Amino acid sequence: MDYSILKQQAESKILFIRDKEVMIDADLAEMYGVPTGELNRRIKKNPQRFPNDLYVFELTNEEKNQVIAQYQHLEKLKFSAHNPKVFTEYGVIMASTILDSDVAIQVCHIIVDTFIQLRKSQKTVEELKSEVEHLRNTIDEQAQQYASHFQVVFREIQKLKEQVEIKNDSQTVGFVLKDKNEIISNESHTEYQ
């Protein structure tokens, strides 16, 4: 039994459903080296070991369809009349105890190690998300400050532009027609008036 190969298999088979990291019964049974039906029969015979959904729960039809669509290796589930069960980390541990085989115990250690590693990496991702969100908020605040400064600058520029336009309008450049035969410049026209 190659640890690194089993670890890679475990990593590829851990899914995230209902905000929990879980493993589908068919994948867990395959890793434990037993048929899925056998695993589920043993669970049914030992309900005290799986008291609630912290250990194992059945997927809804919608969840089943989402899993089939997302994970190619689970396409065979669409032909199953039953919705699959999924195991949390605690359920994986309990399942190894009811199977009571050396393979199940060894594989259980690998799967649990993988759950722990995923949880640690998820924590790191959450910390990074939080840090990015903080930076985004800081940048947004700074952008709002700069925007308000620019609005002041644009208002002042607009005032200056309006003052220049008013000044230009009051000093018309060109010629004024005094009568049909006489043309005088604006400067001389203002002197006559």
> Does residue 83 lie in a domain region?
yes
Three-state SS at 57? strand
> Does residue 169 lie in a domain region?
no
Q: How many Å separate Cα 51 from the centre of its chain?
A: 32
The encoded tokens of residue 135 equal 């930076």
> Does residue 152 lie in a domain region?
no
Q: What is the pLDDT, as a whole number, of residue 182?
A: 57
Instruction: Specify the DSSP element, H or E, that contains 184.
Output: strand 182-185
Any idea what the CATH number is for the domain that residue 21 is in?
3.10.260
> Does residue 12 lie in a domain region?
yes
Q: What is the pLDDT, as a whole number, of residue 60?
A: 95
Q: What is the pLDDT, as a whole number, of residue 193?
A: 47
Q: What is the pLDDT, as a whole number, of residue 192?
A: 47
User: Domain residues for 112?
Assistant: 3-125
> Does residue 42 lie in a domain region?
yes
Strand duo 182-185 + 175-179: pairing: antiparallel
Which residues, in sequence order, are bridge partners of residue 56?
A: 87
> Does residue 74 lie in a domain region?
yes
Closest CA to 60 of 52, 68, 48, 71: 68
> Does residue 45 lie in a domain region?
yes
Q: What residue ranges in 74-174 does DSSP mark as E strands? A: 85-87
Measured CA to CA, the distance from residue 25 to residue 22 in angstroms comes to 9
> Does residue 188 lie in a domain region?
no
Supply the pTM of this predicted model: 0.59
Q: Number of folded domains in the chain?
A: 1
Angle at 4 between CA 3 and CA 7, to 5 degrees: 85
pLDDT per residue as tens, the chain (193 positions) = 677 888 888 888 989 999 899 999 999 999 889 999 999 999 999 999 999 999 999 999 999 999 999 988 888 888 888 999 999 999 998 998 888 787 887 888 888 888 888 878 776 767 777 777 877 777 777 777 777 777 777 788 888 777 777 766 655 555 555 665 555 555 544 444 4
